Structure 1
Amino acid sequence: MSDVEAFPPRTVLRRTPTQRRNRAAVIRILAAAEELLVESGYDAATRSNQELIDRAQVKRGTFYTYFESSQAVMEQLTLDSLQVCKRIIDEVAEDSHVTWQEAMDAIIDAYAEFYRTPSVQEIWLHHHLTDAALAFEAGVNDYVAQRISDLIRNISGGRMRRSSLRIQVSQQLGDRLLRLAFERDPSGDPGIIAEVKIAQRAYLAASERDSV
């Protein structure tokens, strides 16, 4: 298990739905928002609250009970996606890996699959993260970095330890290059993804004395 504490979820919901029918309504609103986001893009999808209400087939009162606006719905989608980012690293960390290099490749593959989600591409690659989402993303990134650090240390039997700075830079290196792969090709340029793995392994393998 990881040394890090559980990372709490975030929400912009005005209130938490307690009844099954209200939870179902919120789910329909989020699903409708994701459909609009993929079909029309962020700007068009947030232009009208009513369009989202009609697509979700909920009453206006129900919509405004839980969301302030269509932008708030998109922000909730983003926060939910960030929870997926956390779950991805948890799942990879709990898998069995022979070497730390194999584990890092598995992390790249898992996050590449995340970026294949059309709604994720629209929000992340077109820079539609709100200030609140960016703040939450920073916390998730810290969580992911700590899990990576734990993973490398545990697989190597404690022989390989890297500073938090080295881990964080490695993480950002992998993420930025992955985004490039999906900017070039919506399915992920396989050549760039392969190079991401090489670059990340080489950077982590280098002695930290080399950077002093």
Structure 2
Amino acid sequence: MMQEQESAKSDEDAATEYEKEKEELRLSLKIIPNDDSEVDYEPLSRKFSIVSWEYQLLGKMEAKDMEVYKLTRADGSSSYHGDIQAFLRRLDKQELKEMFQDHPLERHDLFLWGDLRMISDPDEKDELWMNQLDWKLLRCKLYENCGVHTLFMDGTTMKINMLVEKKYPLIKELLEKMLNLQLEAEEESTMAFELIKFIKSLLVE
């Protein structure tokens, strides 16, 4: 009986500690409902597997190249996306992993592959990471469906996409800004809390 009481007290203490931790993590979290009407979060069991993906140039529009990312599934359906964020939001985590398997690269597909390689295999010596002090971070958003969080910069079209579970060569000044601006997510979740904890842990390394 004594053991059961001690076990119950231990569980209660652990639950209290967990709630305290979540309260602290909530200070770095901002809940923003999904505003992307294009995304259809259909159950994974109803999804068709990816057949192909490619990057296309659709010609000039207002003196600029119109770039799209095309995703084709086994049921013959195709979806076109104007930026890499919209493209990624059409994928789940498993599909994103499959994107890095062998894929015939032709013409403009190399641009998309470059974006994906930046996510999967970051090189700290790349000029992108070397210029972080010049970044004007505007917001940081979690896309839980595909396990990616994105940094949006002020006054520029540059966006940095990163896998939630992967460590990137981010400087401490930027990590602090990410926490101060708060992580945007559609709802409270284990993934959102774990990402905030991960960012905090990088600050004390």
Question: TM-score, length-normalised on structure 1?
Answer: 0.28
Larger radius of gyration: 2
Question: TM-score, length-normalised on structure 2?
Answer: 0.29
Higher normalized strand content (fraction of residues): 2
